[in-house]
Amino acid sequence: MTRIGFLINPIAGMGGAVGLKGTDDKVEDALLRGAEPQAKNRAKITLNFLKKSKDLIFFTPSGAMGEDVLREIGIHDVQIVSHPANKTTALDTKIAVQNFIERDVDLILFCGGDGTARDIFDVVGRNVPILGIPAGVKMYSAVFAIDPSTAAKVVLMPGAPSYRDSEVMDVDEEAYRAGELKTHLYGIARVPAAAGKIQISKQVFEESDEERAKGEIARFIHEIMIPDVLYILGAGTTTEGIVRELGVNKTLLGVDAVKNGKTLAIDIDEKTLWALLENGHEIKIIISPIGAQGFILGRGNQQISARIVRRVGIRNIIVVATPHKLRETPFLYVDSGDRVLDAEFGNTVLVVSGYRMAQRKPIYQPQRG
């Protein structure tokens, strides 16, 4: 039996339809503008597929946060873990997740947006895998299935489950409503490896184990690191793996600098980075695409700004990513804030994906479509 912790953020997605770009602290505003709850209907699509399985036990909060929709769909193998009040808050989500952990669930399936993902991640960290049914206004995190029916397919995936790291993103909603997209890498969660969820036979030739792929990338980067060159490493577990191979620690969410196998600075901001450049260091940047859409620049690596990239030179950027990550992003994106620079990246980029191995990936260029 697979133990599923299930929860809905009943208000997720309400802001979008009425142009609020997110629902944090805006529920009443949204309701006033005539918004209707979206999350329940999205969750129903997933649950309709899951109810046919006899191998699932659901743990869920009572009422609108889970129990109601499970009963409506006709799923009765349900254990209630908490009793949120009528007007649910982030705290209710966190209490439910704490209860899921205590009941030893195998997977937390949630229906919501980036905000819900962050609340769950705050409690669960990397201890239990999570999977999102997309229902929010913003879904920049890479923890969501493509759509509700795919979420069901991922849950019902046959064979021993495998997991991968995925970014939870934090979007500044105030700035977003004002028309500015500010996203930050919030954390890295575990999600079921969706690769192989359909037509497993075709995937066997791919690297099946993401950790192994990270090790291969690290081994290769280690091999090609040049003495006396300063390496700026962006956020994420792939770049972290590279530094770990050197035997030193790296901040998971920050940008660090490494030279001759030693850490020079950790969690550096743009200004410090610029100062390093001014010091006349020869610099190379190693970054990994971030978020559900696969951004090389502009999401989670904002410290590496357009002026830094210009100074270092595009040819001195080494992009790294596991085959898993690349399989899920048909295009990569660049959003440095400088459109001319973005265009200079061209139509494709070479991404190191293994030991002495890379993949040629297309970059989405808006003017090209």
Partner 1 sequence: MQTKILLDEEQIPKKWYNVQADLKSPLDPPLHPKTQKPIGPADLSAIFPMELIRQEVTTDRYIDIPEEVREVLQLWRPSPLYRAHRLEKFLKTPAKIYYKWEGVSPAGSHKTNTSIPQAYYNMKAGMERIATETGAGQWGSAMSFATMLYDLECTVYMVRSSYTQKPYRKSMMHVWGAECLPSPSTKTNAGRAMLEKDPDTPGSLGMAISEAVEDAASHSNTNYALGSVLNHVCLHQTVIGLECREQLALVDDYPDVVIGCVGGGSNFAGISFPFAGDKLTGKHKDVDIIGAEPASCPTLTKGLFTYDLADEAGYTPLLKMFTLGHDFVPPSMHAGGLRYHGDSPIVSRLVNDGVMRAVAYHQSEVFDAAQTFARTEGIIVAPETSHAVKSAIDEALKCKKSGEAKTILFNCSGHGNFDMSAYDDYYSGKLVDYEYPDELIKESLARIPKIS
Q: Given CA atoms 127, 131, 134, 135 in this order, what sign does their dihedral have? A: negative
Binding mask 15-34 for partner 1 (x = CB under 8 A): --------------------
User: CB of residue 248 vs partner 1: minimum separation in angstroms?
Assistant: 20
Helix locations, 204-278, DSSP H: 210-224, 237-245, 270-278
Select 229 or 253, whichever has its Cβ closest to partner 1.
229
Measured CA to CA, the distance from residue 127 to residue 147 in angstroms comes to 24
Query: Which one of the spans 92-100, 106-114, 153-161, 198-206 is the region binding partner 1 (CB under 8 A)?
Result: 198-206
Exactly one of 125, 313, 330, 346 binds partner 1 (CB under 8 A); that residue is 330
Exactly one of 86, 201, 279, 367 binds partner 1 (CB under 8 A); that residue is 201
Query: Which one of the spans 31-39, 67-75, 79-87, 358-366 is the region binding partner 1 (CB under 8 A)?
Result: 358-366
Strand (E) or helix (H) holding 265: strand 262-265
Maximal CA-CA distance, the chain: 67
How many chain residues interact with partner 1 (CB under 8 A)? Answer: 30
Q: Which of 194, 99, 187, 181 is nearest to 144 (CA)?
A: 194
Select 134 or 323, whichever has its Cβ closest to partner 1.
323
Under the binding rule (CB under 8 A), the answer on residue 226 touching partner 1 is yes
Select 91 or 331, whichever has its Cβ closest to partner 1.
331
Exactly one of 318, 321, 332, 334 binds partner 1 (CB under 8 A); that residue is 318
SS (HEC) of 315-349: HHEEEECCHHHHHHCCCEEECCCCHHHHHHCCCEE
Query: Which one of the spans 199-207, 268-276, 293-301, 333-341 is the region binding partner 1 (CB under 8 A)?
Result: 199-207
Binding mask 123-152 for partner 1 (x = CB under 8 A): ------------------------------
Strand (E) or helix (H) holding 177: helix 173-177
Under the binding rule (CB under 8 A), the answer on residue 224 touching partner 1 is yes
Under the binding rule (CB under 8 A), the answer on residue 104 touching partner 1 is no
Select 98 or 316, whichever has its Cβ closest to partner 1.
316
DSSP-derived pairing of the beta strands 357-362 and 348-354: antiparallel
Under the binding rule (CB under 8 A), the answer on residue 212 touching partner 1 is yes
Cβ-defined contacts of 126-132 (< 8 Å, 24+): 126/165, 126/188, 126/189, 126/190, 127/101, 128/5, 128/100, 128/101, 128/190, 129/161, 129/163, 129/189, 129/190, 129/191, 129/192, 130/189, 130/190, 130/191, 131/107, 131/155, 131/191, 131/192
Contact yes or no for 158/196 (Cβ under 8 A): no
Query: Which one of the spans 20-28, 108-116, 197-205, 238-246 is the region binding partner 1 (CB under 8 A)?
Result: 197-205
User: CB of residue 283 vs partner 1: minimum separation in angstroms?
Assistant: 14
* Interface residue list for partner 1 (CB under 8 A): 201-202, 204-206, 208-209, 212, 220, 223-227, 318, 323, 326-327, 330, 350, 352-361
